[in-house]
Structure 1
Amino acid sequence: MGHWKDTSSLTPLRAAGFAVSMALTAGVLLASQAAFAQSTPTPNSSIRSSTTLPGAATEDEGDIPKPSNGTTSAADNAQGATTAAIAAPDQKPSDETTGAILDEDMMRLNTREAPLDERLPPRKPEPNPATEETPGIRIGTFVLRPTVTQSINTETQNDGGVKQTRAFLETDMHTTLTSDWALHQLLVTTDGAWQKNVSGEGEEQPNFRIIGDLRLDLPQDTTAHITGGYHFYREDTDDPNAVQNADEQSDVQEFSAGASIERDFGILRGSTGIDLSRAIYSDATLSDGTTISLGDRNQTSGTIRGRIGYELSPALIPFIEANVGTTVYDERVDSAGFRRSGDSYGAKVGVELDMGEKLRGEVGLGYETATFDDPRLADIDAAVVDAQLLWSPLRGTDVNIGLLTSINPSTTAGESGYVSHALATAVTHQLRDNLTGTVLGGITYRDYPSDSPTSDETVYATGAGLTWNINRYLDLTSTIGYELTSRKTSSDSEQWRAGVGLKLKR
């Protein structure tokens, strides 16, 4: 439960091509590491290390959490909680009969135990060089693994009867820098997307994120994390806080820092942490060339959180969690005359699950509220339902399910904000040893107070893609995505996007 920002790990596929490309990147890595994942289950601490949804993404680009299989939030895929592959154990031959008269005899022959002297080592499938993990680049005691995808895309957007179509080139980058130390670990993850229009008209959507996580392995079953990050993006035109009829929305810079500590006390597990963030908004440009200053949206926020869990078994850990946060705007009174600084409070109970390679994650229920310094702004509260589940029903198939409830304060005059209820799923399936398919889907409901002049909105998003592993270092990718924003009192908006690209891995 984040404070003020929508902490969804999967945003709506407003930038569908980018989201699916990031998901495919993680999907390929999952496929390439499947053999390793079968013998090395992810430790419990990987689930407990994060209370937010994978991946990944805490910005105002949308509300749907990024799937932990690596969507845009691919950034969120390298942060510990969502980077490990999920694969099912080896499947035994089916014992189902066909009704033939020889079935019973054939089953008896096929399932008999061979004498000791007839037993041979089990046959394993030959490894496919095209799906093996790249060796990376050794830099001292670190290993750098860069990935660059170059794609050509087409996009059609229809908002209120105004239709725009563009073709653009997009360069996506994903890198991980991992330490190779005997004790402690430093992980630096970088994600970026740069777009260049080659025809038509439509706003380019640059995006860059870098996150560092230093894990300290302390004595007595104690682990500490020190994190820091930077995120640059352009505000989405469909964002509720975006400037209407702007030719270019505001560029947003977010700085983050945090520290946490976790310790096992026998059957009890406790953790606490503090998170700080700083958001800076640039001017927005209108269609006539004039600019609007958005400096009154610049803000600094902090949150303190704590959790304690009870280990019923290694696979089942109920927990209780609470957080307290505050937000301070640079300008005490915004351009509309409202004081938007305030506080937030939240609590939830839930359970952590770790059933090995088949099912991992957590589910929580709780309550969250946000208050404002200005008495004209009504408090916002909501029942919270959060879930993050990583499920592998079959070998080669990974399902990521994310559910998030969050409070999103508004900067519109007279508006307190809205409550976002987001559900997102991502399914990655290995069609062949060198061909992986990904399907994404999500729905977000933005619930405004009954006395709000803004009507409720529902955002539907879906996407799909294929990745062909040409060899160990080169993939061919294809993506398609669609998003629909449905509004009760105003016109709907929709977007189509499709693209093909080449991904170079090292």
Structure 2
Amino acid sequence: MSHWKDTSSLTPLRAAGFAVSMVLAAGAFIVPQAAFAQSTPVSNSAIRPSNTPAAAAPEDEGDIPETPDGTTSAANNATQGATTARTAASDQKPSDETTGSILDEDMMRLNTREAPLDERLPARKPEPNPATEETPGIRIGTFVLRPTVTQSINTETQKDAGIKQTRGFLETDLHATLTSDWSLHQLSVTTDGAWQKNVSGEGEEQPDFKINGDLRLDLPEDTTAHIIGGYHFYREDTDDPNALQNADKQSDVQEFSAGASIERDFGILRGSTGIDVSRAIYSDATLSDGTTVSLSDRNETSGTIRGRIGYELSPALIPFIEANVGKTVYDDAVDSAGYRRSGDSYGAKVGVALDMGEKLRGEVGIGYQTATFDDDRLSDIDTAVVDAQLLWSPLRGTDVTIGLLTSINPSTTAGESGYVSHALTTGITHQLRDNLTGTVLGGITYRDYPSDSPTSDETVYTTSAGLTWNINRYLDLTSTIGYELTSRKTSSDSEQWRAGLGLKLKR
């Protein structure tokens, strides 16, 4: 039996009215369906940015669109986060590249890292916690300054050659970024520092301060140039291979750096070249008996020229080949032990750069590197190179960083040419709650000395963990704990424990 009403018997006016009512009824049904389709939540495959702080200036993403309420859009936040992850990966090199305690730098990273922000998918997070929102910063002309100061109380225990030292100390950590908001080009300045003051026990204080600037120039025809400069001050650690034994106060080291680079896209080819110059100055060291030892013969200037060319198989896969040539010149042609330590270095590697969206990005390369010295008594150092910097995000709210670095570290010890460092570092950051973040860092560094060296190989193990509780958008509570073990074949091992609790003020 048909449910449709027969309209043949209706008058023309009544038939027209019936037709209009049917059209209106159909429209009332269709419109809500269209509105519902337009309000479908964003897919889970949206880009998820990293929370790792960047040490280099991000690429220009253009003007930042704003929503009617003044906040940036989710798509723009995702783009900025992806850029941060790319630059952070290249900046997180193991501490063995410079002298100093690896654990010290791990703890500093835990104290100064920013709490994660996860505001990219409002449909999945309808009620964001105000405590995790980014601070507005301080407007200075066309720049935005975002300073962070962490004040903590810490305890540290060191064991070396049967000697145990314990101290309690206050530490002030500083992290600040100054970034321009120009429509074209960008200048960014990043500052990190740590100041310590012993309040009990005995042990050497470890001050650290560095500032780095990056001026990005957006040139025509897909060309980008960078001009960089930096300064780093730190105190050499007792466990460093080049440090003086039985020193009551190690040398204060000042490092100056400058460089320039240019990158250009030639269709499917990507080329870049650059030059870097660094200068290191060492102060006198003080022995346990009060005697001072001049280390001016370690002052040196180094320069490196590098070039890379890549072939874009796809936006996610870019194989590349890279080469570099360097030279090191010491202020004193002959050091205090009678060695001429100036020399040259050469290196080359092939690899691939990856960018698979929010899940995996970074690069992997293999190659060869060698260092030669003017003094024939110092043997050349050469090694196969395996380098990698990867950022992996297995699930939302979790970031995993993996780093591999092979480097040649010249020595200043009499009769030693240096050693090869093979370092593996990992870091895991997980958002336990919307205002609670946990971080775990770990690393293994193997120092491989030549077979004719009187120094035995060493292995350094480090691990540290921290929690950050966002009390509000301007104040965090932090806690850290770390451990470092240096294992030696022919001498006693050394250990270091450290734990601390602090407050972080953000603006």
**Normalization by structure 1: what TM-score?**
0.82
1:199 aligns with 2:200: yes
Instruction: Please state how far the C-alpha of 1:39 moved relative to its aligned partner.
Output: 3.1
**CA-to-partner distance for each residue in 1:172-203, whole Å, 9 max, x for gaps?**
00000000100000000000000000000000
1:59 aligns with 2:60: no
1:457 aligns with 2:465: no
Instruction: Please state how far the C-alpha of 1:357 moved relative to its aligned partner.
Output: 1.3
Other-structure match for 2:109: 71
Say if 1:219 and 1:46 are closer, same or farther in 2 by CA, change over 3 A.
Answer: farther
- For 2:151 and 2:51, locate their aligned partners in 1 and report how far apart those are by CA, in whole Å: 13
- For 1:321 and 1:50, locate their aligned partners in 2 and report how far apart those are by CA, in whole Å: 20
Instruction: Please state how far the C-alpha of 1:88 moved relative to its aligned partner.
Output: 12
Maintained 8 Å contact 2:85/2:391: no
The SS at the match of 2:226 is: strand
Say if 1:55 and 1:485 are closer, same or farther in 2 by CA, change over 3 A.
Answer: closer
1:438 aligns with 2:426: no
Maintained 8 Å contact 2:400/2:427: yes
Other-structure match for 2:427: 426
Other-structure match for 1:216: 217
Other-structure match for 1:11: none
Maintained 8 Å contact 1:41/1:356: no
Other-structure match for 1:141: 142
The SS at the match of 1:71 is: helix
Other-structure match for 1:495: 496
**CA-to-partner distance for each residue in 1:48-80, whole Å, 9 max, x for gaps?**
x7995426765212579978x992796xx8xxx
- For 1:125 and 1:466, locate their aligned partners in 2 and report how far apart those are by CA, in whole Å: 25
Other-structure match for 1:374: 375
Say if 1:431 and 1:42 are closer, same or farther in 2 by CA, change over 3 A.
Answer: closer
Say if 1:123 and 1:390 are closer, same or farther in 2 by CA, change over 3 A.
Answer: closer
Instruction: Please state how far the C-alpha of 1:45 moved relative to its aligned partner.
Output: 10
Other-structure match for 1:311: 312
Say if 1:140 and 1:45 are closer, same or farther in 2 by CA, change over 3 A.
Answer: closer
Other-structure match for 1:383: 384
CA RMSD of aligned residues (A): 2.9
- For 2:495 and 2:484, locate their aligned partners in 1 and report how far apart those are by CA, in whole Å: 6
Maintained 8 Å contact 2:74/2:120: no
- For 1:146 and 1:311, locate their aligned partners in 2 and report how far apart those are by CA, in whole Å: 39
Say if 1:492 and 1:247 are closer, same or farther in 2 by CA, change over 3 A.
Answer: same
Other-structure match for 1:392: 393
Letter in 2 for 1:137: I
Say if 1:355 and 1:24 are closer, same or farther in 2 by CA, change over 3 A.
Answer: closer
Maintained 8 Å contact 1:332/1:340: yes
**CA-to-partner distance for each residue in 1:404-456, whole Å, 9 max, x for gaps?**
00000100100010000000001000000000000111000000011110000
- For 1:37 and 1:158, locate their aligned partners in 2 and report how far apart those are by CA, in whole Å: 50
The SS at the match of 1:40 is: helix
1:405 aligns with 2:406: yes
- For 1:462 and 1:71, locate their aligned partners in 2 and report how far apart those are by CA, in whole Å: 12
- For 2:248 and 2:73, locate their aligned partners in 1 and report how far apart those are by CA, in whole Å: 45
* Higher deviation after alignment, 54-63 or 186-195: 54-63
Say if 1:412 and 1:134 are closer, same or farther in 2 by CA, change over 3 A.
Answer: same
Mapping for residues 3-402 of structure 1, pairs under 5 Å: 26=53, 39-40=78-79, 47=86, 52-54=90-92, 58-61=97-100, 71=109, 122=123, 124-402=125-403
Instruction: Please state how far the C-alpha of 1:127 moved relative to its aligned partner.
Output: 1.3
Instruction: Please state how far the C-alpha of 1:259 moved relative to its aligned partner.
Output: 0.1
Say if 1:192 and 1:265 are closer, same or farther in 2 by CA, change over 3 A.
Answer: same
Say if 1:143 and 1:36 are closer, same or farther in 2 by CA, change over 3 A.
Answer: farther
1:469 aligns with 2:507: no
The SS at the match of 2:297 is: helix
Other-structure match for 2:18: none
The SS at the match of 1:489 is: coil
Maintained 8 Å contact 1:352/1:363: yes
**Identical columns (%):** 80
Other-structure match for 2:60: none
Say if 1:298 and 1:320 are closer, same or farther in 2 by CA, change over 3 A.
Answer: same
Say if 1:55 and 1:125 are closer, same or farther in 2 by CA, change over 3 A.
Answer: farther
Letter in 1 for 2:430: H
**CA-to-partner distance for each residue in 1:430-488, whole Å, 9 max, x for gaps?**
00000000011100000001111000000000001100000000000000000000000
**CA-to-partner distance for each residue in 1:92-151, whole Å, 9 max, x for gaps?**
xxxxxxxxxxxxxxxxxxxxxxxxxxxxx9564211100000000000000000000000
**CA-to-partner distance for each residue in 1:240-296, whole Å, 9 max, x for gaps?**
000001000000000000000000000000000000000000000001111000000
Maintained 8 Å contact 1:24/1:71: no
Instruction: Please state how far the C-alpha of 1:215 moved relative to its aligned partner.
Output: 0.1
Instruction: Please state how far the C-alpha of 1:356 moved relative to its aligned partner.
Output: 1.2
**CA-to-partner distance for each residue in 1:341-372, whole Å, 9 max, x for gaps?**
00000000000001111111000000000000
Say if 1:153 and 1:124 are closer, same or farther in 2 by CA, change over 3 A.
Answer: closer
Letter in 2 for 1:71: R
- For 2:154 and 2:377, locate their aligned partners in 1 and report how far apart those are by CA, in whole Å: 46
- For 1:238 and 1:123, locate their aligned partners in 2 and report how far apart those are by CA, in whole Å: 49
Maintained 8 Å contact 2:458/2:489: yes
- For 1:293 and 1:329, locate their aligned partners in 2 and report how far apart those are by CA, in whole Å: 15
- For 1:149 and 1:332, locate their aligned partners in 2 and report how far apart those are by CA, in whole Å: 44
- For 2:409 and 2:426, locate their aligned partners in 1 and report how far apart those are by CA, in whole Å: 22
Say if 1:419 and 1:375 are closer, same or farther in 2 by CA, change over 3 A.
Answer: same
